[in-house]
Each structure stands twice: as structure tokens, then as C-alpha cells.
Amino acid sequence: MKVTIRGSGVAGLCVAAELAGRGHEVTVTDPAGGPGAQGCSWWAGGMLAPDCEGFAAEEVVIRLGRAAADWWQAQGARVIRRGTLVVALGRDRGELDHFARRTANHRWLDRAGIAEAEPQLAERFDRALWMSDEAHLDPRATLLGLRDRLAARGVRFTTEPCDGGRVVDCTGLAARAALPELRGVKGEMMVLRAPEVALTRPVRLLHPRFPLYIVPRGDGVFMLGATQIESGERTRASVRSVMELLSAAYALDPAFGEAELAEIGTDARPAFPDNLPRVTDLGGTLYVNGLFRHGFLLAPALARMAAEALEGHAKPELWHEHHA
């Protein structure tokens, strides 16, 4: 089958990979020519953390998300499987218990356990939750790598609008005119160069007001994220947000105080009212959208659903008919 995919963010590339893997003739069209800063997955954390996300997300996110790490690895992405550490500062210890009650697949680490996993954290924390099954990847390297591998496999990338064959729209917030329920949820993130910090796996710092996650990118580079603000604004990182993220990072490890502030990024995540992604059929065009904060975690599952829908199999789990 001939399929044109609009958009080369994480959703578009995953659908392209899934369809190309099934032998279809795939073209990806994006005004920017390929993945880049125009798509919000460029700014993502890249955590494949279904267990942690289970704190606030629905069961389907956890279940579908569990397959993500294997899918990415099978696509040739560099998936780092070192789990996630979850910590809280002294007076927020209750937050950690609360988090533990609402999540599964974890075990408690004491100071010795933390020292074994992340020695630098053991000075400041004597208790952590360890989600051992979780993984992470570098979103930008992953997107660019996948694009190259797809191109090598014959997937065509173009900046021209294509109208051959079936169309799968993966344009995120740009599809708002067709998907009126879609809204933007602003996120601000930062990249720090902190050679003195030696974290090797994602760490989440629970805090009632300023929660934070830090994802190591290797070579002393760390991504700090992310705010979650009900706004479609895609630019303008506020001083307040930056201060909150940096304060939390500094509280996690004072060595971040000496870090170089390499980047401040802002974009808006596309989300539906239930914050769950959907495959929507609108007059023959399939829309894969609403991945919210779960782009790398859920795009593989959504890509499979979109492919099955195109091939005429049973309607996928997160399927939405259009009701005009």
C-alpha cells in the first residue's frame, strides 16, 4: 500500500517505521524535511518510564508503554536500560511513600543501595524508589538515527505535500483545525553541561510544587524537565519556570550549581481532554495525535494501531471515529 505520512516527529517516524516494516511504500512529508526543533518530540525527555508515569496516567499508558523500550531497540535506537531512581527531599518524604503506593514494579533502596546505583546521590538521600525495568534514550539522536535508517530502507522524505495513496497525519498541534478537541500543554526544559555530575540514569525528584526529572544524555550533559502548563504557547520560557527547574536540580545535587546552561527549550505538547493519544479516522485520513507527555513511550503502540487500521484489521484500542 502507498502511504503518505505528514509530519516527521516521533509519531510520524514511528508510523513510517511500522509501515515500512510491513512492506508498504512510505513517503514522509514535512515542511522542514525531517525531524527537528519544529516538532515537540525534539524537546522531549526521552524517558521510557511506564511505571513512573503510572502515578498520574491511566492503565493503558503503563500497559502500552511497557513495549516501547523493545520496539525502539529493534529499530536500532540506543536504548539505555538502567531504570529510574525516584527521590524526595527530607521534608517531602511523604511524597515518596505516596508515589510508591500509586505505582508498581519498584523496590526501595536505602543509602547503601543508592550509593551502589548513583554514588553522588547517597550523600543527600537515604531512601529512593528504584524502577528497574525503565529505560531512556536520547530523543534527538533517536529521531535523526531513525530518519536515516528509514531513508536507507527506501522511505522517501520530502518537503512537498504528497497526495498519493492513504494519508496518516502526525502533525501534532498543527492538526488542530481537523481535531478541535486537541489542546497544547506547554513544557519548558533545559539542557545543562555538568561534567561534575555523574548520574547515569534518569532521576525524578518529587516535590509538591516543583517536581523535576533529570535525564543524562552522556558526556556530562543533562536534560532537565519539564513544566506542564495549560497553554498552547510554544515559545517564551519564563523566568519562574527556569528558576523552579534549576532550584530543584540544585537541591538534587549542588554540583549542578557549577553547570553550564547550554539550552532552554519550550514547546507545547498536543493533548486530548483525557490526555490519552488517539488514532482518529477523518474521511479516510488517519490522525495519530494527542501523545501528550508520552511521545517516545506511546508512539510505537500508536504506530502499530495505525498500521493495523490501514491494513483493515480490527479497530485499534485507542480508535476514534469521527462524529461530526
Q: 164-184 burial string, b = 16+ CB within 10 Å, else e? A: eebbbbbbbbbbbebbeebbb
Closer to other proteins at the Cβ: 167 or 297? Answer: 297
- Interaction between residue 231 and other proteins (CB under 8 A): yes
Q: Which of 2, 78, 236, 315 binds other proteins (CB under 8 A)?
A: 236
- Interaction between residue 251 and other proteins (CB under 8 A): no
- Interaction between residue 238 and other proteins (CB under 8 A): yes
Closer to other proteins at the Cβ: 158 or 247? Answer: 247
Distance in Å, CB of 279 to other proteins, minimum: 18
Count of residues binding other proteins (CB under 8 A)? Answer: 22
CA-CA distance, 169 to 15, in Å (whole number)? Answer: 10
Distance in Å, CB of 75 to other proteins, minimum: 29
- Interaction between residue 204 and other proteins (CB under 8 A): no
Q: Identify the three-state secondary structure at position 40.
A: helix
Closer to other proteins at the Cβ: 147 or 269? Answer: 269
Q: Under a CB-based contact definition with an 8 Å cutoff, are residues 136 and 50 in contact?
A: no
- Interaction between residue 218 and other proteins (CB under 8 A): no
Query: Residues 122-151: x/- map of binding to other proteins (CB under 8 A)?
Result: ------------------------------
Distance in Å, CB of 236 to other proteins, minimum: 6
- Interaction between residue 275 and other proteins (CB under 8 A): yes
> What stretches of the chain show up as alpha helix (H) in DSSP?
10-21, 50-53, 59-65, 68-74, 93-102, 111-117, 119-122, 139-152, 239-252, 295-310
Distance in Å, CB of 278 to other proteins, minimum: 12
- Interaction between residue 183 and other proteins (CB under 8 A): yes
String of DSSP letters for 139-192: HHHHHHHHHHHHHHTT-EEESS---SSEEEE--GGGGTTT-TT-EEEEEEEEEE
Name the segment binding other proteins (CB under 8 A); options: 137-145, 182-190, 191-199, 297-305: 182-190
Which strands, in side-by-side order, build the sheet including 127-131? 107-110, 127-131, 84-88, 203-206, 212-218, 221-225, 183-193, 260-271
Name the segment binding other proteins (CB under 8 A); options: 3-11, 37-45, 158-166, 236-244: 236-244
Q: Which of 232, 251, 262, 281 binds other proteins (CB under 8 A)?
A: 232
- Interaction between residue 2 and other proteins (CB under 8 A): no
String of DSSP letters for 192-211: EE-TT----S-EEEE-SS--
Q: What are 59's three cell numbers?
A: 492503565
Residue numbers 69-128 binding other proteins by CB under 8 A: 102
Name the segment binding other proteins (CB under 8 A); options: 32-40, 163-171, 194-202, 228-236: 228-236
Closer to other proteins at the Cβ: 275 or 280? Answer: 275
Residue with cell 481535531: 179
Distance in Å, CB of 58 to other proteins, minimum: 8
Closer to other proteins at the Cβ: 184 or 300? Answer: 184
Q: Identify the three-state secondary structure at position 226.
A: coil
Q: 259-273 burial string, b = 16+ CB within 10 Å, else e? A: beeeeebbbbbbbbe
Distance in Å, CB of 290 to other proteins, minimum: 11
CA-CA distance, 192 to 222, in Å (whole number)? Answer: 5
Q: Which residue type sits at 230?
A: E
Which residues lie near other proteins (CB under 8 A)? 56-58, 102, 183-184, 186, 208-209, 229-233, 236, 238, 240, 271, 273-276
